[in-house]
Amino acid sequence: MAEKRSPNATPLACIILAAGLGTRMRSELPKVLHPLAGVPMIRHVLLACAELLPERLAVVIGPKMEAIAQAVAPHKCVVQPEPLGTGDAVKAAKGELKGFTGDVIVLFGDAPLVTADSLRALQQKRQETKAAIVVAGFRPEDPSPYGRLILDGKGQLTAIIETADATPEQRAISLCNGGIMLFDSGKLAKWLDQLRNDNAKKEYYLTDCIALAVKAGEACAVAEMPEDEVLGINTRVELAAAEKLMQKRLRVHAMLNGATLADPSTVYLAADAKIGHDVSIGPNVVIGPGVEIANKVEIRAFCHLEQVRIEEGAVIGPFARLRPGSVIGAGAHIGNFVEIKNSDIGKNAKINHLSYIGDASIGAKTNIGAGTITCNYDGFRKYRTEIGAEVFIGSNTCLVAPVKVGDGAYVGAGSTITMEVPANTLAVARGRQANVEDWVQKFKSRQDAERGGKDS
């Protein structure tokens, strides 16, 4: 990790379980790679862990899950050969903990709403109680589907009871198991070796470590978390619910950091969006992955942005689409129904109406007229258009790439430009207008005569 931990902080390792097949997603894409706020859900878990600056981090995957390994790189992945339960999954990562002494947090790649603050709460609880295990607890409105956390009179965790095994008194308990667990690394390896699979599924459950710890006289504790932070995703319905929660979180973060959202519930933000202060975002705006928005930018209604950088003071939209690889210069105006792709738009340039600019460089203070198109594709390859500074491109112009227009040049409206236009030059490339006198009357008379002949 780039930063360094406090010398007084307990060393930390994180193990993220991501070996599940996710069959209920009905998808060829591994479950933890389904996007949430434009980012694979497991990346959210990695980012939460990264804030704690762990000394070690490993992701447990199943066989033939190379796509997950690529998505989490450069973090180390270990393979759980068979799906034999959470305890077996953590056991597969034991090699990554060799020689490590400190706290070990085990969490899930399909629970992407967890925050670094809640993970810190697990560490804080361990420091306060000296517990060998700290379990994340939560209090849902409907606890019936979840395992209950059983506490003694001193508030120590003594057992985790699944709903099917719970007595009526235990089912009345509102404190439920959130799944995330923190272990004393010095004791975890021993308990993993003692886990048994004498249950209906013949699996090794990590939660059975609680009973082993209690039997050994070790203290176990609970750190409570908000319900949404332990939300696991198993279906696309649950993914949609998580998206709604994540969007609310991202909108609040953007507004608290100085952005104005005119109608927050209609704005969709990617998790990696970087938004400056005094930014104004209108309704029905989508800010996709890889977007950087500088200070004092205005994004008007119904815009769609993805992998683009917008410099200070630019105005975008309404109804503009900015596609990957584009940079919009300071003070530039990109207007309604304008599409920009893989292009550099210079400072104070204007492209205000109904245009497509793809694979192009537009100089400072250049004005692109309505209906202008850069014809960048010949059916086989894409080519670049280079337009200099303070150029005027007339309306309804086609620029057939590769082509250059020099600084200060003018291009007449309706032109199709196929050759270089030198600086400070007027280019007009269109057929000469011809007016035919009395043509309209003759044409109408001929048409009337033809219709009359048919009627007779």
Please list the active-site residues: 353
Measure Cα distances from 398 to 364, 402, 403, 411 in Å: 20, 12, 11, 10
Q: What is the DSSP string of 189-255?
A: HHHHHH----STT----GGGHHHHHHHTT--EEEEE--GGGG----SHHHHHHHHHHHHHHHHHHHH
At 306, phi and psi to the nearest 5? -155, 130
Q: How far is CA 143 from CA 36, 146, 368, 403, in A?
A: 25, 6, 60, 66
Judge whether 222 and 157 are in contact, CB under 8 Å: yes
Give the chain's length: 456
* Residue owning tokens 């104004």: 280
Can you say how many angstroms the Cα of residue 330 is from the centroid of all Cα atoms in its chain? 26
Angle at 112 between CA 110 and CA 115, to 5 degrees: 140
CA distance 341 to 336: 15
Q: Under DSSP, is residue 295 helix (H, G, I), strand (E, B) or coil?
A: coil
The string of DSSP codes covering 315-364 is EE-SS-EE-TTEEE-TT-EEEET-EEES-EE-TT-EEEES-EEESEEE-T
Of 221, 270, 230, 266, nearest to 250 by C-alpha is: 270
Computed on alpha carbons and rounded to an integer, the radius of gyration of the chain in Å comes to 31
